[in-house]
Amino acid sequence: MMNHYSVVIVGGGQAGLSMSYCLTERGLDHIVFEKHQIGYSWRSKRWDSFCLVTPNWQCQLPGHPYQGEAMHGFMKKDEIVQYIEDYAASFSPPVKEGVAVLSVRRNAAQTGFEITTSSGDFTADQVVIATGGYHHPKIPRIAERLPDTIVQLHSSEYKSPDALPDKAVLVVGTGQSGCQIAEDLHLAGKKVHLCVGSAPRSPRRYRGKDVVAWLDQMGYYDLPIDEHPQKEKVRAKANHYVTGRDGGREINLRQFALEGMQLHGRLKQINDNRLEFEPNLKQNLDQADAVAESIKKTIDEFIAKNQISAPTDSPYVPVWEPEAESLQLDYDQAEIGTVIWSTGYETDFSWIEIPVFDGKGYPGHDRGVTTVEGLYFLGLPWLYTWGSGRFSGVARDAVYLADYIIAKRKQTTYSQDWSIINEFLLGS
């Protein structure tokens, strides 16, 4: 293995592979370091019934768009892994699996980079960080108040209802993972207690087609973050909850409540054997509905403005309302045997020894290009558009960075050539 490369890519997920494809296409030597194996997060950090929440036609990795029969379906976990493996097989990227990158730093001359890995030291002219933004499971310290008799899992560790004790389950958090896991447990007949947070929900279908298709037609997925009306907050906002399960449908927490799921407000405190909840269940349910209705209204306005023929849907009517919010629950009496923390992830770029981060540890960049020459980021949520961290938009970002890297390399080579010529002329 060489010790120097024009480009080192850190991370062999869809972002890193997309970058490798684009550099391979442009004939630039590079290497990809992947700590585990291709498709690791999809393979190991998703539950058994996991599937995409966006239609398969949005899977547009560079040079490898989805070409299966279920264009409007939603790939399941194993199919996603196969899609990524097939992508890698299509162009044989120079990936070194099982190699962890321990540090990235500038070299002494500030002209390149030094990369320390579990397989040795390397240097590079340019580096692309493609590890995404979800690095360490985030579990609040309130979890320490629960007894050892209760199994505690982060959402990334949950696999199936059968793998849990034969008792009730408390799910904390209603982002995409929390709601889908709660549904998975509910459909399996588990008694589920769900702490409902402030995450918004999305309709699945509206006025004749999937909402994703409408948003795509409206240009939402092409909207750069700098033009987003909530650009200061959108990167930190929770994703809308919806599911692609069984062909795709809405997740209706109110319907689950009618069927026996116990809904609570946000988890506030744990004292002795009591779980205490915020009195905000109705508020959070209403707010999630309001977001879904605002999406529908935006679609209505687009249809009207463009005089599109589309069927109408019946007005939304809540099927359940919390009559009196339960603010306490004795976890022993409720026979809760498992708590699943669907509370997100923490970002960790501490191994990058280069000052490009803000006070929250987020890298400063413009479309992935940092202020440090030769250092780039790819695959972060809303790096440029909504799809930047997804199968749908990473290709656009990878192409942009690949072109930028090639242009930078040509500029550097041109400068070096003129430097040599000047030295020659001065010496003569």
Q: How far apart are CA 354 and CA 279, in angstroms?
A: 44
Q: Which two tokens stand for residue 41?
A: 């997060």
β-bridge partners, 381: none
Amino acid 321: pLDDT = 96
Amino acid 394: pLDDT = 97
pTM: 0.94
Over residues 276-289, the mean pLDDT reads 97
141 SS3 class: helix
CATH number 3.40.50.1820 is the correct assignment for the domain at 137-341: no
pLDDT per position as a tens digit, 190-203: 999 999 999 999 99
Amino acid 231: pLDDT = 81
Confidence of residue 423 (pLDDT cuts 50, 70, 90): low
Residue 387 CB: number of other CB atoms within 10 A? 23
Please provide the CATH number assigned to the domain covering 4-135+347-422.
Answer: 3.50.50.60
Over residues 207-221, the mean pLDDT reads 97
Q: Where are the domains of the chain?
A: 4-135+347-422, 137-341
Percent of the chain clearing pLDDT 70 (strictly above): 96
pLDDT per position as a tens digit, 391-416: 999 999 999 999 999 998 877 664 55
pLDDT per position as a tens digit, 227-276: 998 887 888 888 899 999 999 999 999 999 999 999 999 999 999 999 99
Q: How far is CA 153 from CA 138, 181, 189, 197, 317, in A?
A: 11, 12, 19, 18, 35
Say yes or no to pLDDT of 78 above 80. yes
Helix ranges, 219-376 (H): 253-258, 281-305
**Residue at 97: amino acid letter:** E
Over residues 76-82, the mean pLDDT reads 97
Confidence of residue 420 (pLDDT cuts 50, 70, 90): very low
Amino acid 1: pLDDT = 66
User: Do the domains 137-341 and 4-135+347-422 match in fold?
Assistant: yes
